[in-house]
Homo-oligomer: A and B are copies of this chain.
Amino acid sequence: MTVTQSRATERKDARPLPGHRVRLGADRPLRLDCGAELHDFPVAYQTYGSLNRDKSNAVLVCHALTGDQFVAEPHPVTGKSGWWDLMVGPGKTLDTERYFIICANIVGGCMGTAGPKEIDPATNKRWGVDFPVITIGDMVGAQTLLLDHLGIEQLFVVIGGSLGGMQVLQWAAAFPERVFAAVPIAAAAHHSAQNIAFHEVGRQAIMADPDWCGGDYENNGKHPHRGLAVARMAAHITYLSEPALHRKFGRRLQDRKAVTYGFDADFQVESYLRHQGITFVDRFDANSYLYITRAMDYFDLTGEHGGVLANAFRGTKTRFCVFSFTSDWLFPTEESRKIVHALNAVAANVSFVEIESEDGHDSFLLEAPEFHRVLNGFLNGAAEHRGLPRAG
């Protein structure tokens, strides 16, 4: 296995991605839930901090649907701050002076790890929708290969929000001995009918765009930007709470004193959503959006364990800290409570905190002092039990 920079020729903008890229599965392929196998496939990842001598301070951050491995550094495409800059860094809650932070682009993603945008070695063309449909289990499977590559037997913590939280649950269920502590945030053990419905709208918006070309747009020199922008707009509404939208925008007009009696973005909230859609297409691949939403829809830890979620965690020694946010209507507290009840049923070591927040599902990405305070306490307690020295 060799760590390489991503090859410029594979990237749309012809600039290599910064960071690490490794090819995995050359000797032992990753067998996917759909039955296909990935051989010798790329995984792109970033790290922050240093791995200690006994490799006991590794924290795996699992990113969400539209996130990537650029957790705590400027994004190579947008130039914006890392998506969890508030969380990861020296002296921060995920303290890079104490922990070795790893974040890998998920399988199915579009930032250097194997996915529909990458080259299919069998054809030397982009995979497109010939890429096998993947699951949260497959994402975690690829991450285990990365940890093997890095020589890390057990993660100190695996942590993530939303889709990231689903990966955390999958890690804890499938590889309990490799997870000392698990922090699923704003997540659920299965995707609800409403969640699936919103994802289906996004997928239909993409597939309705003639420039999607049946999934083969890259090889046709096109991009379904309009469809992907609509998908992003619809999803974005679900990430915010109604009170947050009211507070941020209300019915305020955008650079005008009165409505224009037309279909321009009269309202600030329209202008904001359009901006979200337009900027998203510059950094995200439409097919990846299909694949990752599908993986989330398929996620059903309860169903996979005979309808009893507790069976997913029987005998676990992992320490859990489960977070939800009061105004999150996409992954409401009730879903976190189900996880906690299942963990209680197997006498697992679990803390559960519902954080008061008006910011909806996105709360975990934003300023949330109480969230950080509680998480910090949990991490310190776990670190003590793990025998990690204090930072500094």
Most B Cβ at <10 Å: residue of A200, A237, A262, A263: A200
Closest to A260 in B: B133
A118 to chain B, nearest CB (A): 19
CA distance A207 to B274 in the complex (A): 12
CA distance A104 to B55 in the complex (A): 73
Contact check, B193 vs A269: say whether CB atoms are below 8 A apart.
yes
Interface 0/1 of A235-273, CB less than 8 Å to B: 001000010011011110000000101110111011001
Provide the residues of chain B in CB contact with A249, threshold 8 Å. 193
Provide the residues of chain B in CB contact with A294, threshold 8 Å. 263
Contact check, B34 vs A269: say whether CB atoms are below 8 A apart.
no
Contact check, B261 vs A34: say whether CB atoms are below 8 A apart.
yes
Contact check, A200 vs B273: say whether CB atoms are below 8 A apart.
yes
Contacts of A98-127 to chain B: CB distance below 8 A: none
Interface residues on A, range: 35 or more
Closest to A259 in B: B298
Provide the residues of chain B in CB contact with A266, threshold 8 Å. 297
CA distance A230 to B233 in the complex (A): 12
- Residue A300 at the chain B interface, CB threshold 8 Å: yes
Provide the residues of chain B in CB contact with A227, threshold 8 Å. 208
Provide the residues of chain B in CB contact with A297, threshold 8 Å. 266-267
Contact check, B290 vs A263: say whether CB atoms are below 8 A apart.
yes
Interface 0/1 of A204-231, CB less than 8 Å to B: 1101111000000000000000110110
CA distance A132 to B261 in the complex (A): 8
* CB < 8 Å neighbour of A201 from B133, B226, B233: B233
CA distance A275 to B328 in the complex (A): 29
- Residue A352 at the chain B interface, CB threshold 8 Å: no
Contact check, B209 vs A208: say whether CB atoms are below 8 A apart.
yes
Contact check, A245 vs B203: say whether CB atoms are below 8 A apart.
no
* CB < 8 Å neighbour of A230 from B35, B208, B210, B248: B208
Contact check, A192 vs B242: say whether CB atoms are below 8 A apart.
yes
Contact check, A204 vs B230: say whether CB atoms are below 8 A apart.
yes
- Residue A196 at the chain B interface, CB threshold 8 Å: yes
Provide the residues of chain B in CB contact with A192, threshold 8 Å. 242, 245-246, 251
Known: A34-B261, A263-B294, A274-B204. A245 touches B209 (CB 8 A): no
Contact check, A196 vs B246: say whether CB atoms are below 8 A apart.
no
Contacts of A272-314 to chain B: CB distance below 8 A: 273-274, 277, 290, 294, 297-298, 300, 303
* CB < 8 Å neighbour of A233 from B194, B204, B265: B204
* CB < 8 Å neighbour of A270 from B196, B209, B246, B269: B196
Interface 0/1 of A181-203, CB less than 8 Å to B: 00000000011111011101101
- Residue A86 at the chain B interface, CB threshold 8 Å: no
- Residue A329 at the chain B interface, CB threshold 8 Å: yes
A264 to chain B, nearest CB (A): 11
A365 to chain B, nearest CB (A): 19
Interface 0/1 of A75-111, CB less than 8 Å to B: 0000000000000000000000000000000000000
Most B Cβ at <10 Å: residue of A190, A198, A205: A205
Interface 0/1 of A121-152, CB less than 8 Å to B: 00000000100110000000000000000000
Contact surface of A with B, Cβ cutoff 8 Å:
33-35, 129, 132-133, 190-194, 196-198, 200-201, 203-205, 207-210, 226-227, 229-230, 233-234, 237, 242, 245-246, 248-251, 259, 261-263, 265-267, 269-270, 273-274, 277, 290, 294, 297-298, 300, 303, 329
Query: Can you name 13 extra interface pairs (CB under 8 A) apart from A194-B237, A267-B297?
Result: A133-B263, A192-B246, A193-B242, A193-B250, A196-B267, A196-B270, A197-B269, A200-B273, A201-B233, A230-B230, A234-B234, A251-B300, A259-B298
